[in-house]
A and B are shown apart, each in its own frame.
Chain A
Amino acid sequence: MSQVKQKKSTAQSNPLFELGKERLELIGKHADALMQGYLEGQVSESVFSQQALQKLLDSRVLFYPDEQSLSLRPIVNELIASLTQDERKRQINSDVGEHLDQIQTRVQSLQAARQKGDYAASEHHIQLLTERVNDMTGQFGDAIESLWHRLNTEFGFVSSLDDKILEIELAQRQLRRILDGFGIINFDDLIQLAGSDGTLRKLLVSQLQARISEHSGSLFQVQKRLVLLMARFRQQQDRALLINRMSAFLRQHPNFQIGDYPNRSQVPAVINQAHSINAKAFIALDRAQDSYALAELARAVPREQEQGSQSEQQTQGFAVAAQNLVATEQKQLAKDVEDFFIQVIESPQALSGVDYLAERELLWEPEMWLFQIVAEYEGLPQQNKRSFMLEKDSAQQSRFNQLHIIQDVTVGMRFFGDFQAAG
């Protein structure tokens, strides 16, 4: 505990501590303006006071790339991109040579310090060396993480397919560079460098090797996924192109004659599709054991004549007082609705009123049409009514009243379901 405190106080006594803290705070203080600059590519001088601007320039946060424009320094841009996983701007730094050189120098200084017996200096060198090794592996880790992140979002940060394909190509080049970086690390040299020193061996050889092989493993996965994704994007691109060009061609050549493939000696597989066969079956009374089921069916069939006369009676109520024209229209409407009900009887599934209206291209107002269907249904004699199932598709118009507006009605035959359930 006291050791930690002591360490802390030595860190704090370092002059870098105050300066670094001050600069980090400076970035925090101007976070709004700096983020604005990050997104827009340049910073407007007018948002800072003269003093603040000077401070940001001195702190190496901002700089003038040329006389007119003010920008974030590349390293600040990179910091923000990395913190926010912004793949548009994130950079992959795969330079390994520099790190290896530094490691070599650091090990030499360390050995020199040890020979002199300077314990404090060698401690310091070990710390720097550890940091350097961590920087190097962390850099690989970041690069791989960035690749994964882009893969998992399927390069969603660019919108068009062409851009995505370019991005994948870029990612593949980055991956190649990382792998090249791995190639530069020569463990034989590192083993020699570490010599018989246990700490160094652990740091430079066993730990590093474990990390690198872990990274290689995930890079291999990334590579596989990149290839798959590329194939998929290419296929999509290919397909969209094919569709666009074929339709353009067919539009330009309306009289284009396609070959008579079905009558060639070798019929291509792609057009060999057999025509449909409907295996129909009819009521047969030659087997005694079926008679009960057939009788059930016969009983369940609604009587159409009865239904017809009933609906005419019912529509008369509307027609009597109305004018002639309205009466004819009303009759036509009632007839169309009747046809709809007949269609329902013939159809194996329930029918939607609105769909039927559209399908037959009838000219009735949908509202009037639905009303008439409901009226017809309600007007049926009880026993006929039981044969039908009417469902209203309605939605509450507003939360503040109980007004429901019927958007559609679905009418189906009930006896099918019941009969099947019983049988």
Chain B
Amino acid sequence: MIEHGPLLERLLEGEFICAVTDEHSFHKLQNDELVDDLNHFLRPLNRRVAKNDDGSVYFLAYCDLTPNARQHLSHQFTHTVQSLLPMLEWMQLVQEALGRDGALSAGDTIKLQDFESKVVDNQSLIQRLAHLANDKVFKSTSDKADMQIKQVFRRIKELGYLHQPHKDRLFFIVTGKVEQLIELVRFIKDEENLPIDDETPEQESMF
């Protein structure tokens, strides 16, 4: 178990482990035996190793949903929901600015310089960026696009959705935590019966 100390510590600190953030540990966590061992250790802390639906990201979940655990979950869920719209808007902004086909997903790379040059060329993207940067999730007070971009990306990195392989290079990789966020969005849509599928029924029939 000693050798897995650092991994355990990172999981306990609330890190999401995916192929982007730490490929080596990610592969280790695919071994069910090891996960059993870790879970055994985590049991007294009321935690277990969990993964998302498609197994692209690992994190810790509660074993028993004690009142205390529920309180933490409530708190965290409120935070996630508050940052939901800004996060979705950010994903749209990146997708549009970089002219990508599909939505951002784990493993996609973003060069900040490319993004910035695309945004500053387009008045509507500048406005959307300014609106986004002003959101209380990102809290930028600067009115310069480059500062706003830096602040937004820094915050999203803090939230764990972006990985920056080289500290001094403004080059980011989307992490597996984004997949978890999308799963949450899908869950909310289904659970709350949001009327957002009805707009294009012909699309629905294609799936």
**Residues of chain A at the chain B interface (Cβ within 8 Å):** 159-161, 164, 233-251, 258-263, 267-279, 349-350, 352, 355, 358-359, 361, 393, 408, 410
CB neighbours of B81 from chain A (8 A): 258
Contact A240 B74 (CB under 8 A): no
B186 part of interface (Cβ distance < 8 Å): yes
Among A243, A258, A262, point to the contact of B192 (Cβ < 8 A).
A258
| Contact-size category for B | 35 or more
Decide yes or no: A164 and B59 within 8 Å by CB, A244-B92, A246-B185, A258-B192 being known contacts: no
| Alpha-carbon distance A241/B101, docked complex (angstroms) | 12
Query: Could you tell me which residues of chain B, from 155 to 207, have a CB within 8 Å of some CB in chain A?
Result: 167-168, 180, 182-189, 191-192, 194, 196-197, 199, 203, 206-207
**Distance to closest chain A CB from B31 (angstroms):** 21
Instruction: Give the 6 A-B residue pairs with the shortest CB-CB distance, closest first.
Output: A236-B102, A276-B14, A262-B73, A247-B88, A245-B196, A272-B61
Q: Within the complex, what minimum Cβ distance (angstroms) separates B131 from chain A?
A: 11
Q: Knowing that A242-B185, A267-B70, A358-B150 touch, tell me 19 more A-B residue pairs with CB under 8 angstroms.
A: A164-B101, A234-B207, A243-B91, A246-B84, A248-B196, A251-B85, A258-B81, A261-B73, A267-B73, A269-B61, A270-B184, A272-B62, A272-B73, A273-B73, A274-B62, A278-B12, A278-B13, A350-B167, A358-B142
B11-51 toward A: CB 8 Å interface, digit per residue (1/0)? 01110000000000000000000000000000001110010
Interface membership of B109, Cβ < 8 A: no
Whole-angstrom distance between the Cβ of B127 and the nearest chain A Cβ: 15
- In the complex, residue of chain B having the shortest beta-carbon distance to the beta carbon of A359: B154
* B60 at the A interface (CB under 8 A): yes
Given contacts A269-B50, A274-B14, A274-B47, contact A238 B207 (CB under 8 A): yes
Determine if B102 and A271 form an interchain contact, defined as CB atoms under 8 angstroms apart: no
A246-B189, A248-B196, A260-B74 known; A240-B183 Cβ under 8 A: no
Q: How far is the CB of A225 from chain B (nearest CB, A)?
A: 18
Q: What are 11 A-B pairs at a CB distance below 8 A?
A: A161-B102, A239-B102, A240-B95, A242-B182, A248-B196, A250-B88, A262-B70, A268-B191, A270-B183, A277-B13, A358-B142
- What separation, in Å, do the CA atoms of A274 and B60 have in the docked complex? 5
A411 CB to nearest chain B CB (Å) = 13
Are B192 and A259 closer than 8 Å at their CB atoms? yes
B77 in complex: contacting residue of A236, A271, A358, CB < 8 Å: A271
User: Which one of A240, A261, A272 has the highest number of Cβ atoms from chain B below 10 Å of its Cβ?
Assistant: A272
| Docked-complex contact B207 and A249, CB < 8 angstroms | no
In the complex, what's the smallest C-beta–C-beta distance from B92 to chain A, in angstroms? 6
Contact between chains at B101 and A273 (CB < 8 Å) = no
Q: CB distance B12 to A277 under 8 Å?
A: yes
Bitwise, B80-108 to A at CB < 8 A (1) or not (0) is: 11001100110110010000011101000
Given A267-B70, A358-B142, is A277 in contact with B45 using a C-beta cutoff of 8 Å? Answer: yes
User: What is the minimal beta-carbon distance from B59 to any residue of chain A, in angstroms?
Assistant: 6
A240 and B102 contacting across the interface, CB-CB below 8 Å: yes
Q: Are A250 and B84 in contact (CB under 8 A)?
A: yes
A198 to chain B: closest CB distance in Å?
54
Does B203 contact A241, Cβ atoms closer than 8 Å?
yes
Which of A159, A352, A359 meets B168, CB within 8 Å? A352
Q: Is the CB of B76 within 8 A of A275?
A: yes
Residue of A with least CB distance to B150: A358
CA distance A393 to B169 in the complex (A): 11
Set B13, B52, B189: member contacting A276, Cβ < 8 A: B13
Q: Which of B72, B73, B84, B206 has the most CB of A within 10 A?
A: B73
Q: Cβ of B9 < 8 Å from any Cβ of A?
A: yes
Which residues from A are CB-within-8-Å of B134?
none
Point out the residues of chain B lying under 8 angstroms from A240, CB to CB.
95, 102-103
A270 near B180: Cβ-Cβ < 8 Å: yes
B-chain residues with CB within 8 Å of residue A261 when the two chains form the complex:
73, 77, 191
User: How far is it, in angstroms, between the C-alpha of A410 and the C-alpha of B169 when the chains are bound?
Assistant: 13
How many angstroms from the CA of A276 to the CA of B62 in the assembled complex? Answer: 11
Complex Cα gap A358–B80 (Å): 25
Shortest C-beta distance, A256 to chain B (Å), equals 8
| Nearest chain B CB to A311 CB, angstrom units | 26
* Smallest beta-carbon distance B125→chain A, Å: 15
Instruction: Please give the distance in Å from B149's CB to the nearest CB on chain A.
Output: 10
A391 CA to B167 CA in the complex, in Å? 13
- A247 to chain B: closest residue by CB: B88
A269 to B52 alpha-carbon distance, docked (Å): 8
Cα distance A240–B95 in the bound complex, in angstroms: 9
Task: Give A233 to B75 CA distance when docked, in angstroms.
Answer: 36
Residues of A within 8 A of B196 (CB): 245-246, 248-249
Closest Cβ neighbor of A245 among chain B residues: B196
Residues of B within 8 A of A355 (CB): 150, 154
Contact B203 A262 (CB under 8 A): no
A41–B62 CA distance with the chains assembled, in angstroms: 64
Return the contact of A258 from the options B95, B142, B167, B188 (Cβ within 8 A).
B188
- B62: nearest residue on chain A (CB-CB)? A274
The answer on a CB contact under 8 Å between B73 and A271 is: yes
